[in-house]
Structure 1
Protein backbone atom coordinates (compact mmCIF):
# COMPACT_ATOMS: atom_id res chain seq x y z
CA UNK A 1 0.00 0.00 0.00
CA UNK A 2 1.13 3.49 -0.81
CA UNK A 3 1.93 5.66 2.19
CA UNK A 4 0.85 9.31 2.16
CA UNK A 5 2.34 12.32 3.98
CA UNK A 6 -0.39 14.71 5.05
CA UNK A 7 -0.48 18.15 6.70
CA UNK A 8 -3.84 19.01 8.30
CA UNK A 9 -4.73 22.48 9.54
CA UNK A 10 -8.04 23.46 11.11
CA UNK A 11 -8.78 27.13 11.63
CA UNK A 12 -11.68 28.86 13.33
CA UNK A 13 -12.30 32.11 11.46
CA UNK A 14 -13.46 35.50 12.60
CA UNK A 15 -17.20 35.80 11.78
CA UNK A 16 -17.93 36.92 8.22
CA UNK A 17 -14.36 36.60 6.92
CA UNK A 18 -14.46 33.37 4.86
CA UNK A 19 -14.19 35.11 1.45
CA UNK A 20 -11.29 37.30 2.60
CA UNK A 21 -9.58 34.28 4.16
CA UNK A 22 -9.96 32.27 0.93
CA UNK A 23 -8.19 35.00 -1.07
CA UNK A 24 -5.27 35.01 1.40
CA UNK A 25 -5.12 31.21 1.72
CA UNK A 26 -3.92 30.21 -1.75
CA UNK A 27 -0.14 29.68 -1.83
CA UNK A 28 1.99 31.59 -4.35
CA UNK A 29 4.02 30.03 -5.84
CA UNK A 30 2.79 26.43 -5.66
CA UNK A 31 4.94 24.58 -3.10
CA UNK A 32 7.51 22.05 -4.33
CA UNK A 33 6.55 18.51 -3.29
CA UNK A 34 2.84 19.30 -2.82
CA UNK A 35 0.76 16.64 -4.62
CA UNK A 36 -2.81 17.71 -3.74
CA UNK A 37 -4.64 20.06 -1.40
CA UNK A 38 -8.24 20.13 -0.23
CA UNK A 39 -10.25 22.54 1.90
CA UNK A 40 -13.44 21.74 3.81
CA UNK A 41 -15.73 24.38 5.36
CA UNK A 42 -18.29 24.12 8.12
CA UNK A 43 -21.84 25.06 7.14
CA UNK A 44 -21.60 28.32 9.09
CA UNK A 45 -18.36 29.30 7.31
CA UNK A 46 -16.49 29.79 10.56
CA UNK A 47 -14.26 26.72 10.48
CA UNK A 48 -12.06 25.49 7.65
CA UNK A 49 -9.90 22.38 7.51
CA UNK A 50 -7.12 22.15 4.94
CA UNK A 51 -5.63 18.78 4.00
CA UNK A 52 -2.50 18.71 1.86
CA UNK A 53 -0.66 15.65 0.51
CA UNK A 54 3.14 15.89 0.25
CA UNK A 55 5.97 13.92 -1.37
CA UNK A 56 7.74 13.73 2.02
CA UNK A 57 7.94 15.24 5.49
CA UNK A 58 11.02 17.16 4.33
CA UNK A 59 9.12 18.77 1.42
CA UNK A 60 6.37 19.91 3.78
CA UNK A 61 8.88 21.21 6.35
CA UNK A 62 10.78 23.13 3.64
CA UNK A 63 7.56 24.85 2.51
CA UNK A 64 6.51 25.65 6.08
CA UNK A 65 9.91 27.31 6.70
CA UNK A 66 9.84 29.28 3.42
CA UNK A 67 9.46 33.03 3.04
CA UNK A 68 6.43 32.50 0.76
CA UNK A 69 4.63 30.52 3.47
CA UNK A 70 5.49 33.20 6.02
CA UNK A 71 3.85 35.83 3.80
CA UNK A 72 0.80 33.62 3.27
CA UNK A 73 0.38 33.02 7.01
CA UNK A 74 0.72 36.75 7.70
CA UNK A 75 -1.98 37.49 5.10
CA UNK A 76 -4.35 34.95 6.71
CA UNK A 77 -3.70 36.03 10.31
CA UNK A 78 -6.30 38.85 10.52
CA UNK A 79 -9.08 36.36 9.73
CA UNK A 80 -8.02 33.52 12.05
CA UNK A 81 -9.31 33.26 15.63
CA UNK A 82 -7.79 29.84 16.41
CA UNK A 83 -5.56 27.32 14.62
CA UNK A 84 -4.64 23.65 15.11
CA UNK A 85 -2.26 21.74 12.86
CA UNK A 86 -0.37 18.50 12.56
CA UNK A 87 1.61 16.26 10.21
CA UNK A 88 0.54 12.65 9.66
CA UNK A 89 1.54 9.54 7.75
CA UNK A 90 -1.10 7.14 6.55
CA UNK A 91 -2.68 5.17 3.73
CA UNK A 92 -5.99 4.69 2.01
CA UNK A 93 -8.31 2.26 3.74
CA UNK A 94 -9.73 -0.57 1.67
CA UNK A 95 -13.47 -0.75 2.28
CA UNK A 96 -15.24 -4.11 2.32
CA UNK A 97 -16.67 -4.90 -1.10
CA UNK A 98 -14.73 -2.09 -2.83
CA UNK A 99 -12.05 -4.35 -4.29
CA UNK A 100 -9.36 -2.45 -2.32
CA UNK A 101 -7.08 -3.51 0.58
Structure 2
Protein backbone atom coordinates (compact mmCIF):
# COMPACT_ATOMS: atom_id res chain seq x y z
CA UNK A 1 0.00 0.00 0.00
CA UNK A 2 1.19 3.49 -0.83
CA UNK A 3 2.16 5.68 2.11
CA UNK A 4 0.26 8.96 2.25
CA UNK A 5 1.15 12.31 3.83
CA UNK A 6 -1.82 14.07 5.43
CA UNK A 7 -2.31 17.44 7.13
CA UNK A 8 -5.46 17.65 9.29
CA UNK A 9 -6.75 20.94 10.70
CA UNK A 10 -9.86 21.35 12.84
CA UNK A 11 -11.19 24.80 13.57
CA UNK A 12 -14.02 25.96 15.80
CA UNK A 13 -15.77 28.91 14.16
CA UNK A 14 -17.75 31.86 15.42
CA UNK A 15 -21.50 31.18 15.05
CA UNK A 16 -22.93 32.06 11.64
CA UNK A 17 -19.56 32.52 9.88
CA UNK A 18 -19.16 29.21 7.99
CA UNK A 19 -19.92 30.70 4.56
CA UNK A 20 -17.51 33.64 5.05
CA UNK A 21 -14.88 31.28 6.46
CA UNK A 22 -15.13 28.98 3.42
CA UNK A 23 -14.48 31.93 1.11
CA UNK A 24 -11.34 32.87 3.07
CA UNK A 25 -10.25 29.23 3.47
CA UNK A 26 -9.61 28.44 -0.20
CA UNK A 27 -5.90 28.75 -1.00
CA UNK A 28 -4.83 30.95 -3.89
CA UNK A 29 -2.67 29.94 -5.62
CA UNK A 30 -3.12 26.21 -5.22
CA UNK A 31 -0.23 24.83 -3.15
CA UNK A 32 2.60 22.99 -4.91
CA UNK A 33 2.56 19.33 -3.88
CA UNK A 34 -1.09 19.28 -2.78
CA UNK A 35 -2.79 16.18 -4.21
CA UNK A 36 -6.32 16.38 -2.78
CA UNK A 37 -8.20 18.26 -0.10
CA UNK A 38 -11.48 17.66 1.72
CA UNK A 39 -13.54 19.73 4.18
CA UNK A 40 -16.01 18.30 6.69
CA UNK A 41 -18.20 20.45 8.93
CA UNK A 42 -20.48 19.87 11.88
CA UNK A 43 -24.25 20.14 11.55
CA UNK A 44 -24.29 23.45 13.40
CA UNK A 45 -21.56 24.88 11.13
CA UNK A 46 -19.34 25.78 14.07
CA UNK A 47 -16.58 23.24 13.48
CA UNK A 48 -14.78 22.42 10.26
CA UNK A 49 -12.08 19.83 9.63
CA UNK A 50 -9.82 20.06 6.60
CA UNK A 51 -7.92 16.99 5.39
CA UNK A 52 -5.28 17.47 2.72
CA UNK A 53 -3.04 14.91 1.00
CA UNK A 54 0.51 15.92 -0.01
CA UNK A 55 3.38 14.58 -2.10
CA UNK A 56 5.65 14.64 0.97
CA UNK A 57 6.11 16.20 4.40
CA UNK A 58 8.53 18.66 2.81
CA UNK A 59 5.98 19.98 0.30
CA UNK A 60 3.42 20.41 3.08
CA UNK A 61 5.95 22.15 5.34
CA UNK A 62 6.95 24.42 2.47
CA UNK A 63 3.32 25.51 2.04
CA UNK A 64 2.74 25.88 5.78
CA UNK A 65 5.65 28.33 6.06
CA UNK A 66 4.86 30.25 2.85
CA UNK A 67 3.68 33.85 2.60
CA UNK A 68 0.55 32.65 0.75
CA UNK A 69 -0.40 30.44 3.72
CA UNK A 70 0.28 33.29 6.17
CA UNK A 71 -2.08 35.52 4.16
CA UNK A 72 -4.71 32.78 4.03
CA UNK A 73 -4.54 32.30 7.80
CA UNK A 74 -4.86 36.05 8.34
CA UNK A 75 -7.99 36.07 6.14
CA UNK A 76 -9.51 33.18 8.16
CA UNK A 77 -8.60 34.59 11.58
CA UNK A 78 -11.72 36.75 12.12
CA UNK A 79 -13.91 33.62 11.91
CA UNK A 80 -11.80 31.20 13.98
CA UNK A 81 -12.19 30.73 17.74
CA UNK A 82 -9.86 27.75 18.14
CA UNK A 83 -7.56 25.70 15.87
CA UNK A 84 -5.87 22.31 16.15
CA UNK A 85 -3.67 20.72 13.50
CA UNK A 86 -1.37 17.79 12.93
CA UNK A 87 0.64 16.12 10.19
CA UNK A 88 0.36 12.35 9.73
CA UNK A 89 1.71 9.53 7.61
CA UNK A 90 -0.41 6.51 6.87
CA UNK A 91 -2.09 4.32 4.28
CA UNK A 92 -5.48 3.09 3.22
CA UNK A 93 -6.86 0.23 5.28
CA UNK A 94 -7.86 -3.00 3.61
CA UNK A 95 -11.35 -3.92 4.74
CA UNK A 96 -12.56 -7.52 4.75
CA UNK A 97 -15.35 -8.29 2.31
CA UNK A 98 -17.95 -10.33 3.97
Band the TM-score falls in, shorter-chain normalisation: over 0.9
CA RMSD across the alignment: 0.8
Per-residue CA deviation, residues 18-77 of structure 1 (Å, 9 max, x unaligned), is 000000000000000000000000000000000000000000000001000000000000
Deviation at 1:3, TM superposition (A): 0.4
Give the corresponding residue for 1:14: 14
Extract unaligned runs of 5+ from structure 1: none
Structure 2 residue aligned with 1:68: 68
The Cα of 1:86 is off from its aligned counterpart by 0.1
What SS does the corresponding residue of 2:59 show, helix, strand or coil? helix
Gaps of 5+ in 2: none
TM-score (norm 2): 0.99
Aligned length: 98
Residues 1:80 and 2:80 are matched in the alignment: yes
The corresponding residue for 1:33 is 33
Equivalent residue, structure 2, for 1:45 = 45
